[in-house]
Structure 1
Amino acid sequence: MENTLVPPTKARISVPVIALALYAVASGYLMSLIPLMLPEYNLDTSLASWLASVFYAGLLIGAAGVEPLVKKVGHRNAFVYCLITFIFTIMILPVVPNAAVWVAARLIAGMAVAGVFVIVESWLLHGDESARAQRLGLYMGALYGGSALGQLGIGVIGINGGVPFITIVTLLILAVVVLIFGESDQPQSEHSESLSLKQISKLNHAAIIGCIVSGLTLGAIYGLMPIELHNRGIEHSDIGGLMAVVILGGMAVQPVVPWLSKYLGRTLLMALFCLLGVAAIAMTTIVDGMQALGMALFLLGVATFALYPVAINLGCDKLDASYIVSATQVMLFSYSIGSVAGPVLADWFMSGSQGLMGYLFAALLATCIYMLIASIKAKHQAVAGE
Structure 2
Amino acid sequence: MSAQVIAMILAPLLGLFIVSIGNGFLSSLTTLRLDSAGISETMIGIVSSSYFIGLTVGAIFHDRLIARIGHIRAYSSFASLITVSVLLQGMYFDVWFWLSLRFLYGWAAIGIYLVIESWLLLAADQKMRGRILALYMIALYGSGMLGQLALGTADAMGAVIPFMAAAILISLSVLPIVILPRVTPVVERVEALNPLDLLRMTPSGVIGCFGSGIAIAAVYSLFPLYLQRAGLETSEIGTMMASVIFGAMVLQYPVGRWSDRRDRRIVLITLSVACALLSALVITLPQNSPFLIVVFFLLGGAIFAIYPVAVSFAADSTSSDALVRMIQGLLLINSVGCAISPLIISPVMALMGPLGLFWSLGLLNVLMIGFFMWRRGARPESTPAAPFAPATPYSPVGAELRVTDEMIQGAVENEKNDAVHVVLPENEQTI
TM over 0.5: yes
Partner of 2:222: 224
User: Which has the larger displacement, 296-305 or 251-260?
Assistant: 251-260
2:105 aligned to 104, 109, 120, which one?
109
Q: Which has the larger radius of gyration?
A: 2
Q: State the 1:32 CA deviation.
A: 0.7
Partner of 1:348: 347
Taking the aligned partners of 2:315 and 2:79, their CA distance within structure 1 comes to 26
- After superposition, the Cα gap between the structure-2 partners of 1:378 and 1:145, relative to the gap in structure 1 and judged at 3 Å, is farther
Taking the aligned partners of 1:238 and 1:102, their CA distance within structure 2 comes to 25
CA contact (8 A) 1:63 1:330 kept: no
Cα-to-partner distance string for 1:183-220 (whole Å, 9 max, x where unaligned): 3764421x443346499637644333222212201111
Partner of 1:281: 279
CA contact (8 A) 2:223 2:357 kept: yes
- After superposition, the Cα gap between the structure-2 partners of 1:74 and 1:232, relative to the gap in structure 1 and judged at 3 Å, is same
Taking the aligned partners of 1:51 and 1:243, their CA distance within structure 2 comes to 20
2:247 aligned to 239, 246, 249, which one?
249
2:165 aligned to 164, 167, 182, which one?
167
Taking the aligned partners of 1:228 and 1:234, their CA distance within structure 2 comes to 9
Is 1:20 the equivalent of 2:32?
A: no
Partner of 1:291: 290
2:115 aligned to 100, 119, 140, which one?
119
- After superposition, the Cα gap between the structure-2 partners of 1:182 and 1:7, relative to the gap in structure 1 and judged at 3 Å, is closer
Taking the aligned partners of 1:206 and 1:376, their CA distance within structure 2 comes to 12
2:64 aligned to 68, 78, 90, which one?
68
- After superposition, the Cα gap between the structure-2 partners of 1:95 and 1:196, relative to the gap in structure 1 and judged at 3 Å, is same
- After superposition, the Cα gap between the structure-2 partners of 1:192 and 1:157, relative to the gap in structure 1 and judged at 3 Å, is closer
Taking the aligned partners of 2:331 and 2:273, their CA distance within structure 1 comes to 23
User: Aligned to 1:44, what secondary structure does the other structure show?
Assistant: coil
Taking the aligned partners of 1:128 and 1:316, their CA distance within structure 2 comes to 20
User: Aligned to 1:290, what secondary structure does the other structure show?
Assistant: coil
- After superposition, the Cα gap between the structure-2 partners of 1:240 and 1:196, relative to the gap in structure 1 and judged at 3 Å, is closer
Taking the aligned partners of 2:319 and 2:13, their CA distance within structure 1 comes to 23
**Structure 2: runs of 5+ lacking an equivalent:** 384-413, 422-431
Alignment-mate amino acid for residue 352 of structure 1: M
Partner of 2:146: 149
Partner of 1:3: none
User: Aligned to 1:51, what secondary structure does the other structure show?
Assistant: helix
2:77 aligned to 71, 81, 84, which one?
81
Taking the aligned partners of 1:119 and 1:218, their CA distance within structure 2 comes to 22
Partner of 1:331: 330
Alignment-mate amino acid for residue 254 of structure 2: V
TM-score by length of 1: 0.85
Partner of 1:180: 178
User: Which has the larger displacement, 259-268 or 96-105?
Assistant: 259-268
CA contact (8 A) 1:249 1:301 kept: yes
Q: State the 1:314 CA deviation.
A: 5.1
**Structure 1: runs of 5+ lacking an equivalent:** 1-5
Partner of 2:358: 357
Taking the aligned partners of 2:289 and 2:282, their CA distance within structure 1 comes to 10
CA contact (8 A) 1:137 1:309 kept: no
Partner of 2:29: 33
Q: State the 1:242 CA deviation.
A: 0.8
CA contact (8 A) 2:52 2:339 kept: yes
TM-score by length of 2: 0.77
- After superposition, the Cα gap between the structure-2 partners of 1:213 and 1:138, relative to the gap in structure 1 and judged at 3 Å, is farther
CA contact (8 A) 2:150 2:235 kept: no
CA contact (8 A) 1:140 1:309 kept: no
**Alignment size in residue pairs:** 378
CA contact (8 A) 1:137 1:257 kept: no
Q: State the 1:266 CA deviation.
A: 4.1
Taking the aligned partners of 1:104 and 1:62, their CA distance within structure 2 comes to 14
CA contact (8 A) 1:193 1:322 kept: no
- After superposition, the Cα gap between the structure-2 partners of 1:75 and 1:371, relative to the gap in structure 1 and judged at 3 Å, is farther
CA contact (8 A) 1:14 1:184 kept: no
User: Which has the larger displacement, 214-223 or 71-80?
Assistant: 71-80
Alignment-mate amino acid for residue 162 of structure 1: V
Q: State the 1:291 CA deviation.
A: 1.8
